[in-house]
Amino acid sequence: MSVLETRKAEAGVNDLFIDRWSPRAYAADEIPDSDLFTVLEAARWAPSARNAQPWRFVYARRGAAGFQGMVASMAAYNQQWAPKASALIALLSAKVYPFGDKTEPNGYHSFDAGAAWVNLSLQANLLGWRTRAIGAFDKARAAEALKVPETYAVEVIIAIGKPGDPEMLPADLRSKESPTTRLPLRELISDGVFKF
Ligand SMILES: Cc1cc2nc3c(=O)[nH]c(=O)nc-3n(C[C@H](O)[C@H](O)[C@H](O)COP(=O)(O)O)c2cc1C
């Protein structure tokens, strides 16, 4: 059954928003530069406060030292599946604006990094790749492994790969390997004032 059959939009939206989901089972494919750079390019075009573009991406393909460093920083349950990804991408964001004396805090660095992540994941999906963001990892350990300075936050690690056979997953993760649903639209919106 396709993703579009299991997830239904209440108000008509382009299929690309519904079709993107985050599997944990990845096939052995190697990701070519052309596709990797295209998904990073999509992220580059995200909007950001004052067009500061606070995002930075440290990528590593499976088998590379940086890849192992990212995996080692992850919570154990993420280490069960993430090592199969074709590449891991650490999404960083600059905590200060790159303007003036470069000490003014950017209150939107994480918000803007989130926009970049969504662009990246949608573009990946359009190319037949899948992504899953990973927040459960030791950020200090990842920063040390990747030599990230303190002026940058390590926001998430993004796994990217081609869809794989769910049978490869341990039983507890296999049972969760299907597209999630969403809260009804009417529970998320209110007209004029906060009425939830
Ligand atoms: C900031 C962030 C952190 C996440 N952390 C993890 C994680 O540590 N491990 C994991 O398996 N999934 C993680 N996820 C994936 C979410 O659980 C998933 O996106 C969510 O359930 C919605 O499902 P969908 O992406 O398939 O639509 C994370 C997602 C985001 C956006």
Which distant-in-sequence residues (6+ apart) come within 8 Å of 196 by Cβ? Answer: 187, 190
Do 46 and 114 contact (CB within 8 A), yes or no?
no
Do 16 and 149 contact (CB within 8 A), yes or no?
no
- Substitution site in 13, 16, 24, 134 for ligand 1 pocket (most atoms within 8 Å of beta carbon): 134
- Which CATH number is associated with domain 13-165? 3.40.109.10
Q: Is the CB of 78 under 6 A from ligand 1?
A: yes
Q: Is the CB of 110 under 6 A from ligand 1?
A: no
Q: Which atom of ligand 1 is nearest to the CA of 24?
A: 11
Closest residue to atom 15 of ligand 1, CA basis: 133
Q: Which atom of ligand 1 is nearest to the CA of 137?
A: 8
Which distant-in-sequence residues (6+ apart) come within 8 Å of 88 by Cβ? Answer: 59, 60, 62, 66, 67, 70, 71, 82, 157, 158, 159, 160
- pLDDT score at 1: 60
- pLDDT score at 186: 95
Q: Is the CB of 182 under 6 A from ligand 1?
A: no
Q: Is the CB of 80 under 6 A from ligand 1?
A: no
Closest CA to 108 of 150, 50, 166, 67: 50
- pLDDT score at 83: 98
- pLDDT score at 108: 98
Closest residue to atom 19 of ligand 1, CA basis: 22
Tokens 């928003």 belong to residue? 17
Q: Is the CB of 9 under 6 A from ligand 1?
A: no
d(CA 177, CA 106): 37
Which distant-in-sequence residues (6+ apart) come within 8 Å of 110 by Cβ? Answer: 93, 153, 155
> Per-residue confidence of the chain (196 residues) as pLDDT tens digits?
678 778 888 888 999 999 999 999 999 999 999 999 999 999 999 999 999 999 999 999 999 999 999 999 999 999 999 999 999 999 999 999 999 999 999 999 999 999 999 999 999 999 999 999 999 999 999 999 999 999 999 999 999 999 999 999 999 999 999 999 999 999 999 999 999 9
DSSP state of 105: B
**Ligand 1: distance of its center to the CA of 163 in Å?**
16
- For 3, 11, 87, 112, 144, the CA distances from 179, given in Å and listed in that order, are 7, 19, 22, 25, 34
Closest CA to 67 of 141, 135, 146: 146
